[in-house]
Structure 1
Amino acid sequence: MSVLQVNALSKNFGNIQALDQVSFEVPQGSVFGILGPNGSGKTTLLGIVTEVLKASAGNFLWFGKVASATIRKQIGTLLETPNFYPYLSGYDNLLLRQKIHQRGSLKDIQEVLEVVKLSERAKSPAKTYSLGMKQRLAIAASLLGKPQVLILDEPTNGLDPAGIVEIRDLILELREQNYTIILASHLLDEVEKVCTHTAILKQGKLLSYGKVDEILGKGLTIEIASSSLTELANFLQNKFPQATIKKENEVLQLVIETDSINLASLNQSCFENGIILHHLALRRKTLETAFLELTEN
């Protein structure tokens, strides 16, 4: 089941084409990453599906229906840098938002603080929170009312490494609690670590979307070297006739279209053919590699 269907969405700001007929579906229970460099249309897309912006063309459906007040209550959003009243406690900031937006109850406030691991600091002024804690408090605010879907725009932006890890772990925990999470990011490594699905945008166009492992596809790169690279290259080409072999800095890059390979067996095979290896390492294809392949043209 899809929680969100995006159908040929386009958006123009004057002569600027921010989105150009973008279409995809977000499966229920997924962590769906909208990936692209700054200016690719990520925030514009999220603005449209949350009704902050109006599309120039196309449409979108939530849970198979046009957005309504009832459906909006099933969607929690964090689209901007979180702003809180610095002298109010984390709890009181959430209480204020709960009253203004009429989402959730007093019991919900306690629950969401526990989910984001801020219960012990609930009574501390927001000005004493680190950036990571403020981001977790903002996610807590988006959880008020127990929505089914969370939309997070650049949730790790500006955070230090420790803060990034905190938000990454929280996203994974929320997925285990059956939330569907849609997040926009330009950090490929973070998307690869938390997302099950992704859509890749460039200059408003959708280049690819689907499961992360499908976008990565099959393919391993093995770094391998010996005292005689020519002899080693000939051996590898005979052993793996379909593989691609490249030389970089006195190391051969063996690219094979497969899911796995036994490096111990490869080392043994080389040894039995009189080739002594002094370097052997496996390099899996990353989302960064796939992204560059899609966007370099």
Structure 2
Amino acid sequence: MTNTNQYVGRFAPSPTGLLHFRSLIAALGSYLQAKSQQGKWIVRIEDLDPPREMLGAADDILRTLEAFGFMWDGDIIYQSLRHDVYQAQIETWLTQGNAYYCQCSRKNIQQTDGFYPGTCRTLNQRHSNGAVRLQVDTPITHFDDLLHGRIELPLALAREDFIIRHRNGLFAYNLAVVLDDIEQGITDVVRGTDLIESTGHQMILYQQLGHPFVRYLHLPLAITDNGHKLSKQNHAPAIDKHNPRPALMAALRFLGFSPPTELVIENVEQILQWGITHWQLKQLPKTTAITLAF
């Protein structure tokens, strides 16, 4: 199953901190891929985890995107306003027997090589304070990536009944992102290689929902010289929304393109237009990570 509608891409940051260079790579790659296909580019705020969110980050992310010239199509969706949608789908699957409550702790699962063995699948538990897992009967063991080709997924992970609502009541990323992508008509997902292993579970959700798969393109991760990915948790510096052009040029070069040096004196709209005009998937580095020199 593949969705063949008009191209609709998206950038979906989490407001757990300000945008950094790795975020810029994902935003730029998804934007240029969408616009080179005369498609739409949507922004969604994935505010699923309030304890980890930074006050004011969501608004700062949007202002930063504007400063870098990224003009999104349509309205912004906030996941925090869609809890009823996620819960309704979970209730449907619980009623149909496609999902079940699980009382296993993380410690229990670590004792089984870190993959959930289906302990609670047949126990018919009704404890609403437990996690909820989706029953996986048809695993997804591989997928085709637009950049990397066929990607094999760990078999144990593919077979795992995975969590769709956590024990603490927070909705799982995979469930929310798939329901939102369907709601917004997303056809293509461009993101970093750190999310490759999530792809199998997301495809299972599409399969369970009877919806066509989206296409996936995983861009190389920006990592530090000690091998850590740039992230908010690792205190990656925020990109400068008051001087966006150097970072935008650096992001183009990171993605394998050679923008002319004099382009840095142009405005961000012209830099992005250069990127749209010259965008080709064959230019992208076929690697999972690139070390940045600071």
User: More strand by proportion, 1 or 2?
Assistant: 1
TM-score, normalising length: structure 2: 0.31
Greater Rg by CA: 1
User: Which structure is higher in RCO with an 8 Å CA cutoff and minimum separation 6?
Assistant: 2
